[in-house]
Amino acid sequence: MNRIILSAALCLCAVAATAQVKEDFVPSPNNQPGKQYPMVNSERCVRVQVKAPDAKSVKLDIGGVKYDLVKDAEGVWTGESAPQDEGFHYYQLNIDGADVPDPSSLYYYGASRWGSGIDVPAADQDFYALKNVPQGQMREIYYWSEVNQAMRHCFVYTPADYDVNKDKRYPVLYLQHGGGENEYGWPQQGRTAQIMDNLIADGKAVPFIIVMENGSWTMPRPAGGAPAMQRPQGQRPPQGGQRPQGGRPQGGFGMPSNWADGFANTLIKDCIPYIDSHFRTIADKEHRAMAGLSMGGMQTKAITVAHPEVFSNLGIFSGGTITVDDTKNNPEFAKGLKLVFVSFGSRELENRVAGFGDGTDPRQETEALAASGVNAHFYVSPGTAHEWQSWRRALYQFAQLLFK
Amino acid sequence: MNRIILSAALCLCAVAATAQVKEDFVPSPNNQPGKQYPMVNSERCVRVQVKAPDAKSVKLDIGGVKYDLVKDAEGVWTGESAPQDEGFHYYQLNIDGADVPDPSSLYYYGASRWGSGIDVPAADQDFYALKNVPQGQMREIYYWSEVNQAMRHCFVYTPADYDVNKDKRYPVLYLQHGGGENEYGWPQQGRTAQIMDNLIADGKAVPFIIVMENGSWTMPRPAGGAPAMQRPQGQRPPQGGQRPQGGRPQGGFGMPSNWADGFANTLIKDCIPYIDSHFRTIADKEHRAMAGLSMGGMQTKAITVAHPEVFSNLGIFSGGTITVDDTKNNPEFAKGLKLVFVSFGSRELENRVAGFGDGTDPRQETEALAASGVNAHFYVSPGTAHEWQSWRRALYQFAQLLFK
């Protein structure tokens, strides 16, 4: 039923795209240097352009819909999408049947690939804008994992005063991406450093460290994979069937079979000890949080419920809820809980997409949890779906509640 | 004359590619996760594969040569290049006339675009391998530039013991990319952190900080450019004519007109003061170095000669030399010099490409400089041209001489 409604909506958008579009397109803020395309207009339509003089067909593939481009006399193809939601979207081009990145965009990892992304201006974009405020640092680190028998890669955000107050210790948030994404998601499309720097400069959040690891890469690498020593930054060995395949899942998460247990081992046995020994953390559960989006939210619930000795604070963005039953069934977990934050995009909440088609209402569940005495908060991102604008806003809200 | 020889060599390679290739291809170490292609064989031929069922023509464009791919019954195109040099190479695909990134590779910034890159295994790759040794950090930072009236973006490598010895202060190397590249070059394709971590772990280099800025972005951003607040990480405002256009220059550098003066202002007035006030540096000229590749080497010479009060150590990788005349004409510069390092790839040295077709011999010039009493060193990277393997090796050699 929900699928029928969704399909009908997509058809309407596709029809809309062929109608007159408003000619106030401006270059996207995340084009490659010097590139005029892709562009976005005030109706949030995305227009792309690519030179393909010998091609028979070129399409723009965004939001699950393919839009035909039109060729001019010089062999340059141009065309636009229907209006998109505010915020970040993955997309690609299709040239004579080949799915390829747009050579004019910057690239992001999502839908299980490095590919094109575009940021559609949003009314509230100021909260994730790069501003001249005291700047934290996004640190890229590698560390040895006994669980994986390999060097692992993650990002660590340190707030601006971390290098000023050389003896101060900080709480830590472990912040996870979704299915088909990786540890680059929060630093890049999530705009974590900008959100945090702005919040801290405004006095709305206390300074804390944020660690962003790869929740999809949780097993020892297979024998015969490329030796670790040859791998450049950001690259991972072949994953076999462990890594989510295909695009962003529709009505499922495409998660690796070990999505929670495997990552829990990595996180608790290797990652947290490394962070606590190499950064000035406050290394107790009251000053440690885990949060994540979609698959990362489900990992957050599984790991924090199973390890109340490690975490007292958690955030689930578009990835489920904590219910009163969860606390009743896990008394140790319930006893230590300091903060529960649950969020959804308004349109995914309405449509119960993303696996929540069971009729339960996350808002009611969270309100019931709060009524039972837990410090629980529910947030809905207005006008957004299962997408990064929902999660940027979720981090913005969650960070203001955390470690206070 | 040199161009004729070069063209002849390229023709031979193209012919070689159509002959029998050795079928021992393995996935490249910098494929996207889970991708089998691109591959490299023991003859250092690169084989790519892309699905493009409706395309009439698909080519692999690498090393200045385009190789035709062949289509199978399922619409999958496959083909390979002639043997490539060891080390890193930019490449792209051409699908029915469209130049696009290979959807299976990781992406790097070079030839004035974010696009595909491939690392061809090298006999000496151990020196830039990721190993389980004490790990430094590659920190991504933004800072306000008065010169540019904008937030600027750079990377700062801190050695492993930076966060251990909280009161220790460190020398600093300012390390620049080439024309058509940006501040991501040294952290990514340059493998700076791995080279330094390994050297320091082996006791072959003293620990120092490395700052990697964008030497091509040197002017105030134009009015009407995207506001800084909307720009995501790594993105730059439209550059007009300031940014090198086109691919890696052949016999020229495609440098912006203000390649030295403009960047000198940014570096000396804004970047160095920010680094000295936010990192534990030894903030004097004896403990400050500048080095760069190609255009970055030419910037290094121009800036260090003009600012002997700032730098006492310099490295020029494939970007010119320091001559005895340079020291005679600039006595202040000569007086403070602690270290001069000059390097080239053997094949670019032989061919006098990269603008050195004037008959001078950089080795003789550097030896003459050393004979005049300067601590000057000359290094030749064996079997490589004007490419990243030459510069990884140059950094590896230079770092062992620096700040000792």
Provide the residue ranges of all domains of chain B, joining segments of one domain with +.
Answer: 26-121, 127-219+250-399
Please give the Cα distance from B47 to B26 (Å, whole number): 9
Identify the residue whose tokens are 């490329």.
A226
A359 vs chain B: nearest CA distance in angstroms?
36
A325 vs chain B: nearest CA distance in angstroms?
39
B152 vs chain A: nearest CA distance in angstroms?
10
Chain A residues touching B226 at Cβ < 8 A: 26-27, 29
Band of the pLDDT at A19, cuts 50, 70, 90? low
Please classify residue A11 by burial: count the beta carbons closer than 10 Å to its beta carbon, then call 0-12 exposed, 13-18 middle and 19+ buried. exposed
Report the residue from B58, B187, B238 with minimal CB separation from A34.
B238
Report the residue from B31, B230, B245 with minimal CB separation from A129.
B230
Residues in chain B: 404
The CATH T-level fold of domain B26-121 is Immunoglobulin-like (2.60.40)
Comparison of pLDDT for A376 and A13, the residue scoring more: A376
Q: With an 8 Å Cβ cutoff, are A53 and B144 in contact?
A: no
Query: Residue B100: is its pLDDT beyond 70?
Result: yes
User: Tokens representing A112?
Assistant: 């299980």
Q: What is the mean pLDDT of residues A2-6?
A: 40
Query: Residue A322: is its pLDDT beyond 90?
Result: yes
Three-state DSSP class for B155? strand
For residue B360, the model assigns a pLDDT of 81
Residues 196-235 of chain B with CB under 8 A from chain A are 217, 226-235
For residue A20, the model assigns a pLDDT of 83
Assess A12–B contact: CB distance below 8 Å, yes or no: no
CB B193 within 8 A of CB B160: no
When mean pLDDT is compared across B133-142, B156-165, B217-226, B363-372, the lowest value belongs to B217-226
Report the residue from A55, A126, A188 with minimal CB separation from B97.
A55
For residue A87, the model assigns a pLDDT of 97
CB B257 within 8 A of CB B281: no
Q: How far apart are the first and last CA of chain A?
A: 43
User: In this structure, what is the dihedral angle of CA atoms A254, A256, A257, A258, given to the nearest 10 degrees?
Assistant: -140
Of chain B, the percentage scoring pLDDT greater than 70 comes to 82
Comparison of pLDDT for B216 and B329, the residue scoring more: B329
- The secondary structure element, H or E, covering residue A196 is helix A192-201
Query: Residue A223: is its pLDDT beyond 60?
Result: no
- The secondary structure element, H or E, covering residue B397 is helix B388-401
Q: With an 8 Å Cβ cutoff, are B51 and A97 in contact?
A: yes
Q: What is the mean pLDDT of residues A143-169?
A: 95
User: Tokens representing B37?
Assistant: 């292609």
Assess A134–B contact: CB distance below 8 Å, yes or no: no
Of chain B, the percentage scoring pLDDT greater than 90 comes to 78
CB B50 within 8 A of CB B119: no
B170 φ, ψ to 5°? -130, 150
Q: What is the CA radius of gyration of chain A?
A: 22
pLDDT tens profile B48-67: 999 999 999 999 999 999 99
Closest among A294, A293, A290, A295 to A305, alpha carbons compared: A290
Q: What CATH class is the domain A127-219+250-399?
A: alpha beta
Band of the pLDDT at B216, cuts 50, 70, 90? confident
Nearest residue of chain A to residue B243 (CA atoms)? A34
For residue A156, the model assigns a pLDDT of 98
Chain B residues touching A98 at Cβ < 8 A: 50-53, 55, 58, 95, 100, 103
B87 φ, ψ to 5°? 100, -160
ipTM of the complex as predicted: 0.88
For residue A80, the model assigns a pLDDT of 98
Assess A373–B contact: CB distance below 8 Å, yes or no: no
pLDDT tens profile A256-296: 445 566 899 999 999 999 999 999 999 999 999 999 999 99
| DSSP alpha helix (H) spans, B211-345 | 261-265, 272-278, 295-306, 324-329, 331-336
Longest dimension (CA), chain B: 70
User: Tokens representing B144?
Assistant: 């306000």
Please give the Cα distance from A34 to A28 (Å, whole number): 11
Report the residue from A55, A125, A230 with minimal CB separation from B29.
A230
CB A313 within 8 A of CB A271: no
Please give the Cα distance from B202 to B211 (Å, whole number): 22
CB A91 within 8 A of CB A47: no
Assess B27–A contact: CB distance below 8 Å, yes or no: yes
Q: With an 8 Å Cβ cutoff, are B230 and A138 in contact?
A: no
For residue B32, the model assigns a pLDDT of 95
pLDDT tens profile A233-247: 333 333 322 222 222
Query: Residue B244: is its pLDDT beyond 50?
Result: no
Band of the pLDDT at B15, cuts 50, 70, 90? very low
Assess A245–B contact: CB distance below 8 Å, yes or no: yes
HSE-CB for B80 with a 13 A CA cutoff: 24
Nearest residue of chain B to residue A235 (CA atoms)? B30
Report the residue from A56, A226, A278 with minimal CB separation from B27.
A226
Nearest residue of chain A to residue B122 (CA atoms)? A230
Chain B residues touching A58 at Cβ < 8 A: 98
Q: With an 8 Å Cβ cutoff, are A138 and B140 in contact?
A: yes
Assess B30–A contact: CB distance below 8 Å, yes or no: yes
Nearest residue of chain A to residue B231 (CA atoms)? A29
Assess B241–A contact: CB distance below 8 Å, yes or no: no
Q: What Å distances lie between residue A138 and A69, B137, B199, CA to CA?
A: 38, 10, 24
Residues 247-306 of chain A with CB under 8 A from chain B are 278-279
For residue B237, the model assigns a pLDDT of 34
What is the DSSP pairing of strand A376-381 with strand A339-345?
parallel
Query: Residue B249: is its pLDDT beyond 70?
Result: no
CB B218 within 8 A of CB B258: yes
Mean of the per-residue pLDDT values of chain B: 87
For residue B41, the model assigns a pLDDT of 98
Chain B residues touching A233 at Cβ < 8 A: 138, 187-188, 191, 193
DSSP A214-258: -TT--SPPPTTSPPGGG--TT-----TTSSPPSSS-SSS----TT
* A71, A95, A212: best to mutate for the B interface, most B CBs within 10 A: A95
Q: What is the mean pLDDT of residues B187-206?
A: 98
Q: With an 8 Å Cβ cutoff, are B107 and A107 in contact?
A: yes
Residues 314-353 of chain A with CB under 8 A from chain B are none
CB A126 within 8 A of CB A148: no
Assess A95–B contact: CB distance below 8 Å, yes or no: yes
A51 vs chain B: nearest CA distance in angstroms?
6
Please give the Cα distance from B352 to B391 (Å, whole number): 17
| DSSP alpha helix (H) spans, B330-387 | 331-336, 346-351, 362-371
Q: What is the mean pLDDT of residues B225-234?
A: 35
pLDDT tens profile A84-113: 999 999 999 999 999 999 999 999 999 999
